[in-house]
Structure 1
């Protein structure tokens, strides 16, 4: 049974300082606070109820209503996330991520803020709504440490690209296999009045682009790696626990001497030590020396979370 949000001190209340500080997209309730049953994300006045255990329709409705009352939401969308969701996303999309809210008014698109920076969020669009809130500390790090040239791989809607550009980076290249999300990223750039030429949004396979950039002799001061934990394509199956060293090696090949790799891994089954070993193996494969300079994790709205590993590697 899900933990009710009608508790006298619901987790939503403990996040009140986030919107007060200019962040209106965040995790209002994390799974560690609900026994792993659900999590609630908030984007403006829209809620995203993430279900990790099956509930009867009436219970989904009740929980959505509780979420709305606790967080002051106009509408709540549901994302059903069973363990096999990553395999079902393309064949059961409408069941996993219904396009309409299960409670309240539709909010097909909202503009939400992260540290005062606006982003386009589409609560009913897919299992991913436009921004991964657990990576907020990593985006803040990049904005605070943005160098001249940044390569943002697996860019999705280009949150890291926006952070780098706002931090003063002169050149930011965003790479993703989806034209749709790159166009979404250009919308995010426009919201912050940033220039968004098509040449900075590179459509295609990340490994293919890393090879191409290396052959061209392009190098970057920071390379952002934020791959999925698992994906399937015509080229085969990607598993982060197996394939991250090769990705790190390809990133190292386009990282300038003295540059850094901002490496992220969202995978609960790989701990920080194993992730560090994968990164070191990739550097060795590339023939590059590097030092782990900093570790980051998920934001404060993810209490007890260990799924996200973020490591900053400085390369010689």
Structure 2
């Protein structure tokens, strides 16, 4: 057993699942993949954990039962429960891509499994957990019939992606693999680096943009990646979309997303440009948009600009507000786990005040049901999206 500090006992008993070195006295568990038991200062059992170093800590609590083993039966139960919770998503005819297993929220920290129209994509966030991968694959296969399995190992230095080939077993997915979300087609790639072409956790936001915000609108999509928000807006009746991203490949990737929905990308604007520079350009040209989508990464660096969501989101939002028409909308989004919704609302309030403009919160979004967070681990509620109507 490993002895943990009094405050750590309190945290774990309150539902905190993440282990950090600071929780322990002198002896810290280091054997990757080992199952260890934790005790308090009186040598009383507290919890059972799996050791697996990753960028957030050194392991996760897996059970509050003494002598719990991390074996096939345990894993099978967790996977089966996760799949059962997503029964309606598996039955959906309009959406064929979603999250099947969401890490510690489904009982095993350091692992997510996403479903892409019959293909399963495993993302491993610690080498310790990956040592159990054969057992986890076997349990998954027992519960779900699939076409093929892909995996991305993300436990390199600072959580970096470490794979060249992501294929594991079964069928090889077509390239692109066309999935559906709210009856919109999206081209995805399971074996093309760290990303697939779409962020599945923004599903509810894209649907809202399509159904409620886009008809007849001029839309600006910043940090547009492969243009998923732009396509949702176009499918919802936007008269024109402008997609801006600094990555060179974003132009072809965004055009492809329009094309797989039988939309002509030439009817829209796709720009490879630093978003910060684009805002200056748009202000200088007195451009105005009815809907501005602001979904930056938590941290971004270009040749001349470094962006940190915790420090710079407010400034970025001010620039977005400046080119939004009266009665237009701003979709303000951040996936930074360290920013609370309260903090985010304060940033929004201050940004509008600095621009001398008024707003109304139309609605808010967090993660969809398949990305559920847990109360004991606030960082798991990472996605904050606020839909803002600009009143003046």
- Give yes or no for TM over 0.5: yes
Corresponding residue for residue 138 of structure 1 = 205
> 2:222, 2:244 within 8 Å by CA — same for their partners in 1?
yes
Distance 1:314 1:34, change over 3 A: same
Alpha-carbon distance, 1:288 to partner: 2.1
Where does structure 2 lack aligned partners over 5 or more consecutive residues?
1-49, 51-69, 374-379
> Larger radius of gyration, structure 1 or 2?
2
Q: Identify which of 83, 92, 97 aligns with 1:25.
A: 97
Corresponding residue for residue 260 of structure 1 = 329
> 2:124, 2:130 within 8 Å by CA — same for their partners in 1?
no
Q: SS at the partner of 2:238?
A: coil
Within 1, Cα distance between the matches of 2:275 and 2:352?
18
Within 2, Cα distance between the matches of 1:203 and 1:254?
19
> 1:64, 1:103 within 8 Å by CA — same for their partners in 2?
no
Where does structure 1 lack aligned partners over 5 or more consecutive residues?
none
The within-5 A match list for 1:285-300 is: 285-300=354-369
Alpha-carbon distance, 1:151 to partner: 0.5
Distance 1:236 1:202, change over 3 A: closer
Question: Could you say what the CA RMSD is over the residues aligned between the two structures, in angstroms?
Answer: 2.2
Within 2, Cα distance between the matches of 1:133 and 1:16?
17
Higher relative contact order (CA 8 A, sep 6+): 1
What CA deviation, in whole Å up to 9, does each residue of 1:41-67 have, x standing for no partner? 111122111222223655223323433
Alpha-carbon distance, 1:141 to partner: 0.8
Corresponding residue for residue 100 of structure 1 = 166
Corresponding residue for residue 7 of structure 2 = none
Within 2, Cα distance between the matches of 1:62 and 1:254?
53
Within 2, Cα distance between the matches of 1:179 and 1:64?
36
Count of residues in correspondence between the two structures? 309
Distance 1:301 1:217, change over 3 A: same
The within-5 A match list for 1:147-166 is: 147=215, 148-166=217-235
1:168 and 2:237 matched = yes
> 1:65, 1:103 within 8 Å by CA — same for their partners in 2?
no
Corresponding residue for residue 257 of structure 2 = 188
> 2:240, 2:268 within 8 Å by CA — same for their partners in 1?
no
Within 1, Cα distance between the matches of 2:155 and 2:357?
40
Distance 1:256 1:84, change over 3 A: farther
1:81 and 2:154 matched = yes
1:42 and 2:115 matched = yes
Q: SS at the partner of 1:285?
A: helix
Within 2, Cα distance between the matches of 1:190 and 1:12?
33
> 1:40, 1:67 within 8 Å by CA — same for their partners in 2?
no
**What is the TM-score when the length of structure 1 is the normalising length?**
0.90
Within 2, Cα distance between the matches of 1:68 and 1:220?
48
> 1:30, 1:303 within 8 Å by CA — same for their partners in 2?
yes
Corresponding residue for residue 118 of structure 1 = 185
Q: Identify which of 335, 348, 354 aligns with 1:279.
A: 348
Within 2, Cα distance between the matches of 1:62 and 1:75?
17
Distance 1:253 1:283, change over 3 A: same
**What is the TM-score when the length of structure 2 is the normalising length?**
0.73
Within 1, Cα distance between the matches of 2:246 and 2:82?
36
